[in-house]
Amino acid sequence: MNPKIHDWRGQRVWVIGASSGIGAETARTLLKRGAKVALSARNAAALQQAGRGFDEAIVLPLDITDAASVLRARDELLVQWGGVDLVLVVAGTYQKMRADDFDLTAAKHMVELNINGVLNCLDAILPTLLAQGRGGIGIVSSIAGLSGLPQALIYGPTKAALINLCESLYLDLHSRGIGVYLINPGFVATPLTAKNDFAMPAIISAEQAAFEIVRGIERGEFHIHFPKRFTNWLRLLRLLPYRWYFFLIHKVTGL
């Protein structure tokens, strides 16, 4: 569904959300394969650490919730590279929440980071990609965005919005020569999931997640989801009538 990538050498990739977890590991995986990688997030020291030892790494600190900050990083990137071949928006946040502990401040924070932050990135990069008539953009959503789940009262809807966004972007950009990658991980061991106090089925490492992301992009996939032994199960459940879906989710999670 997207152009395949057979060789990362010389590819210019901007990873937004590269200070830890999936973003940092994806950046390192791409650097090891010969790509030029710009690493962005708020924590400049963590970005330096993530890119340490790679001559083709550049650090561009930014705050994804600050549109002007993202634009400044974009401008610096274009000065250094003259263009960009792939932008990966990995930044996001998670806080478990149920209806009986609804927290408006935390809810708005997730919306601000997970949705508005991605829109800030689109505002910065879409004009460049459209002017080039080539390149690609990948957005990390979550398999939790496919359907309502316990403890994902706000997180799930923010990720559902990104799934819809990527589908619409593909319809708009594919004919313009621009790739779109919807990335839906299951449970990945990161600083965010470390806060969970419940069993996380089929959890994988951030290194494994990075491998799946890079492999999916290389294959030209639109929907990159993993681990499939877990994500395919949730995709199947989504097809069931609500009566069955709610019953099975309650039975499996106990919530």
pLDDT over threshold 80, residue 199: no
Q: Which residues pair with 139 in a beta bridge?
A: 89, 182
Q: CA torsion sign, 94 to 67 to 169 to 31?
A: negative
- The pairing of strands 188-189 and 179-185 is unpaired
Arithmetic mean of pLDDT, 48-77: 97
C-alpha 209, offset from chain centre: 11
Name the residue ranges covered by the structural domains of the chain.
Answer: 12-253
pLDDT over threshold 90, residue 168: yes
Q: Which CATH class is domain 12-253?
A: alpha beta
pLDDT per residue as tens digits for the range 175-192:
999 999 999 999 888 777
pTM attached to this predicted model: 0.95
CB 41, CB 23: distance < 8 Å: yes
pLDDT per residue as tens digits for the range 104-160:
999 999 999 999 999 999 999 999 999 999 999 999 999 999 999 999 999 999 999
CA distance 224 to 142: 10
- The pairing of strands 136-140 and 204-205 is unpaired
pLDDT over threshold 80, residue 195: no
Q: Residue 161 — φ and ψ, nearest 5°?
A: -60, -40
pLDDT at 183: 98
- Listed in sequence order, the DSSP H helices in the chain are 21-32, 44-50, 67-81, 104-111, 117-132, 155-173, 206-218, 228-238, 242-253
CA distance 141 to 152: 13
